[in-house]
Amino acid sequence: MNAENEQSVAAGEGLPGGAYLGRYDLELNEAGEFTLPEEWGNLIGASRKVWCVQDFHEPCLNLVPWVAVMEEFAALRKAATTDPEARKTLTRISERGCEIDVGASGGIVLPESLRQAIGMEGEVSLIGSFKTIKIWPRSALPSAETISENDLTRALEDGRKEG
């Protein structure tokens, strides 16, 4: 992270310019705790909070930095006053997720209810997805062969739209 991003994070002024990329295989302890890789922990931001939400389409959990969640919630709340789909989305996100504090050393405890909802215990894989970390039970992780060139292209285009 460069000095400008560190200052932005310290001031709580939005996400640093980095992205979550790569894969890390970890083991959850009995309490559902793990430690974020150091380089990813640096992207969480000054609030040291994340929103953990059950993915709507895949059997995994998503961790999103708190500042990004607040931006999205503000936009959804505004849209929800007139758009039934926005209201539905806001409700689904609220029902399927929760705020989690990130410890000084990057420690995170995943709530039991969210782990149970997708059958998560033991071995997990953290996979960077631009501004989100996907946490997969190792047993549910899709094989590399299922990722097509079209899927990759679409994901990159979606990431550019978000960024």
pLDDT digits (tens, 9 = 90+) for 36-60: 998 888 888 888 999 999 998 999 9
Mean pLDDT estimate for the chain: 82
Mean pLDDT of 71-84: 87
Q: Which residue has the higher pLDDT, 18 or 81?
A: 81
User: Hey, CA dihedral for 134, 118, 89, 153, is it positive or negative?
Assistant: positive
Q: Give the whole-angstrom CA distance, residue 9 versus residue 3.
A: 10
| Cβ–Cβ under 8 Å, residues 136 and 25 | no
pLDDT score of 63: 94
pLDDT score of 135: 96
pLDDT score of 26: 94
pLDDT score of 11: 34
Check residue 79 and give left, alpha or beta (phi > 0: left; psi -120 to 50: alpha).
alpha
Q: Give the whole-angstrom CA distance, residue 27 versus residue 129.
A: 20
